[in-house]
Chain A
Amino acid sequence: MRQSPALRSLSTPILLSLLLVCFALAAVFAGSRPFNQTIIDIFLQVIFVVGLYTFVGNSGVISFGHIAFACLGGYVAAWTTIKPMLKGGAMPGLPDWLMQTEIPYWASALVAALWAALWAGIFGSVLMRLSGIAASIATFAMLAMVNSIYSNWESVTSATSSVVGIPIVRVIWPYLIAAIIAVFVAWAYSISRHGLALRAARDEPTAAAASGIDIPRARLIAFVLSGGIMGAGGALYAHSIGIVTPDTFYLGLTFTTLSMLVVGGMSTLSGAVLGVLILSTLIQVLRWLEAGVQIGTSTFALPGGVQEIALGAVMIVILMFRPTGIMGNKELNLPMAGSEKAGRQGPEPQTTNKE
């Protein structure tokens, strides 16, 4: 019986979503508030890294600038959900209609996605004409530009001061749902005609152009979509801590998300998600060990700072033995769906028998 491409590859986002559900259930059963926050952070990282994968994984162009879209999203959350009275004090330059706007957190995430996607379209229409290292550096310049604007436009962003009063959402489910939606959106894009064309252009740009593919346009579609995912992630990030500053969304988050993507394997969705889950788990374990573990009557604790060193060492070792990341070119899927496609880059569907 012939299966559609979507059906054949559906096991990948389902399995990844089930993994995320397991993490959420672990947080619920643990019942600890710090642990709950840790899992929320992991889900936010999943959204960011999956957003990054949507562009980087499919286009092969490394972007250092995607966290700029999270920044745009984070401030949309601030502009649209903080109580008008508080907004007036911190961001007096906001237009009246925005000053009076107060929408629920989930609506702010949607608006943030659209806002970030719009700017991704504007930036991308210029940046997507570049290739290789020039494109990567240009994305970094975009990040620096956005950071600089948000750090200085005092009347609208409160400049480098923290914007407080964003309603905090401590329940884990919205973050889980958003992460799952991000996974499914990234998967749907990957199996779409645009995703297939972009991966072909990633692997053989010359042949892709000779096949009629408008490479800048194919990249732009991925850039806009990934910008939207990052924007929604930025808004939810703001709702998870209740506060934003431009530096929340700058170099630290840029390098964390890129590292997770590279370690997981940047050409697959599974690599993006597993990179976050594995590195986040590792960071958490190292944190616990730094805090000290009670063994009998004595407490065993790693010296402070070991967490960063150990994490760096583990990443180096992983990349030494698996330069293409933990997942390499393979997607996580059910055995029955995968045997024929082993070794093939990108998502499943195109790897399957079409007869």
Chain B
Amino acid sequence: MSELVADRISVAFAGLKALSEVDLKVASGQIVGLMGPNGAGKTTLVNVLTGFQPPTAGAVLLDGAPLSGPKPHLLRRRGIARTFQGGRLFRDLLVIDNLEVTGIGLGQSRSAAIAEARAMLDWVGIAHLANRIAGTLPYTDERRVAIGRALMGRPAFILLDEPAAGMSGQEAADLSALIRRIAREMGCGVLLIEHNVGLVLDLCDHIVVLDSGAVIETGDPAFIRASEKVRHAYMGTAADTHMPVLEVGQ
């Protein structure tokens, strides 16, 4: 059982606080949701957890040990994978090469990387896209490739940064099923950053809500659903407004 912990993480840019003493914990096989309005600091937290942004204060702990001054590629090799808003695929490479590159980055031999890439595309359900140029894929497929790429080497944790952005209801439902499989079948700890509140409430075991860089609420989906603070953060107004919930399939 592995555990990734953000321990009182603060980040300031030129005196402006982007994150303020944020605590968060993801364990193997668990799906944790990270919600919050635009500018709440969600991506900054993911950047801290994956080594792209050093925290101003606080620490990231992997299995209880702090990661001091880590580099992104080293954290990836230690099993902390991520996706990006907008995919960030290697657009001129084939889909299978996108995954193969990650295998190479993880120190696999070329043949092992290609074999795992092929198996992973199959597992994610996009084996038919293997030989497409990544830059020519529709948005939804791009997201799936990005997830497949992040799953290379079977990481202990995967941090998904708005994977459902721009997806239709059915596409989001398919994605939801995939994320559930990542946690249940691979035993991977998932941190899901998502604006699709319905998807987060439906999928996550635990949810952390950020607003203006601070945790305003944390708890299980039922608790978050009922929270006035969360409702207010999202809608910014009265309690009689409804949270934007998108129905997704189970």
Chain A positions within 8 Å of B, measured between CB atoms, are 193, 196-197, 199-200, 203-204, 206-215, 329, 340, 343-346, 350-351, 353-355
Q: Is the CB of A193 within 8 A of B92?
A: no
Which one of B58-66, B93-101, B171-179, B188-196 is at the A interface?
B93-101
> Are B93's CB and A207's CB within 8 A?
no
Q: Are B104 and A193 closer than 8 Å at their CB atoms?
A: yes
Whether, in the assembled complex, B130 has its beta carbon less than 8 Å from a beta carbon of chain A, the answer is yes
23 contacts between A and B (CB under 8 A): A196-B93, A197-B105, A199-B90, A200-B93, A203-B91, A203-B92, A204-B88, A204-B91, A207-B88, A207-B89, A208-B90, A209-B73, A210-B150, A211-B76, A211-B149, A212-B107, A213-B105, A214-B105, A343-B133, A344-B133, A350-B100, A354-B131, A355-B131
B124 within 8 A of partner (CB): no
**Cα–Cα distance between A355 and B90 once the two chains are bound (Å):** 20
Count how many chain B residues have C-beta atoms less than 8 Å from C-beta atoms of the other chain.
Answer: 38
B92 and A212 contacting across the interface, CB-CB below 8 Å: no
A197 surroundings in chain B (CB, below 8 A): 101, 104-105
Q: Tell me if B73 and A207 are in contact (CB < 8 A).
A: no
Asked, given contacts A206-B52, A212-B73, A340-B131, whether A193 binds B110 with beta carbons under 8 Å apart, the answer is: yes
For residue A65, give the distance in angstroms from its CB to the closest CB of chain B. Answer: 26
Contact A351–B94 (Cβ < 8 Å): yes
B88 contacts A206, C-beta separation under 8 Å: yes
**Cβ–Cβ contact B114 & A354, under 8 A:** yes
Chain B interface residues toward A at CB < 8 A = 50, 52, 71-73, 76-77, 81-82, 84, 88-94, 96-98, 100-102, 104-107, 110, 113-114, 118, 130-131, 133, 149-150, 152-153
CA gap between A343 and B92 in the complex, in Å: 8
CB distance from A234 to the nearest CB of B (A): 32
Cα A351 to Cα B98 with chains together (Å) = 11
Closest to B118 in A: A354
Bound: A152/B177 CA distance, A: 69
Judge whether B104 and A196 touch: CB under 8 Å. yes
Whole-angstrom distance from the CB of A120 to the nearest CB of chain B?
22
Query: What chain B residues lie within 8 Å of A355 (beta carbons)?
Result: 130-131
Given A203-B90, A207-B84, A212-B105, 20 more A-B residue pairs with CB atoms under 8 Å apart are A199-B90, A200-B101, A203-B93, A204-B90, A206-B52, A207-B89, A209-B52, A210-B50, A210-B52, A210-B82, A211-B76, A211-B152, A212-B77, A213-B101, A214-B71, A214-B105, A344-B94, A344-B133, A353-B131, A354-B118
Within the complex, what minimum Cβ distance (angstroms) separates B232 from chain A?
34
Given A203-B91, A204-B90, A215-B73, the answer on whether A354 and B104 have CB atoms closer than 8 Å is: no
Residues in B with CB closer than 8 Å to A346 are: 92
Q: Are B102 and A329 in contact (CB-based, < 8 A)?
A: no
The distance from the CB of A90 to the nearest CB of chain B, in whole angstroms, is 48
Contacts of B105 in A (CB 8 A): 197, 208, 211-214
In the bound complex, what is the Cα–Cα distance between A200 and B134 (angstroms)? 12
| A-B pairs, 6 with minimum CB distance | A212-B105, A211-B102, A213-B105, A209-B72, A207-B88, A212-B76
Q: Are A350 and B104 in contact (CB under 8 A)?
A: no
The chain A residue sitting closest to B51, CB to CB, is A209
A196 and B133 contacting across the interface, CB-CB below 8 Å: no
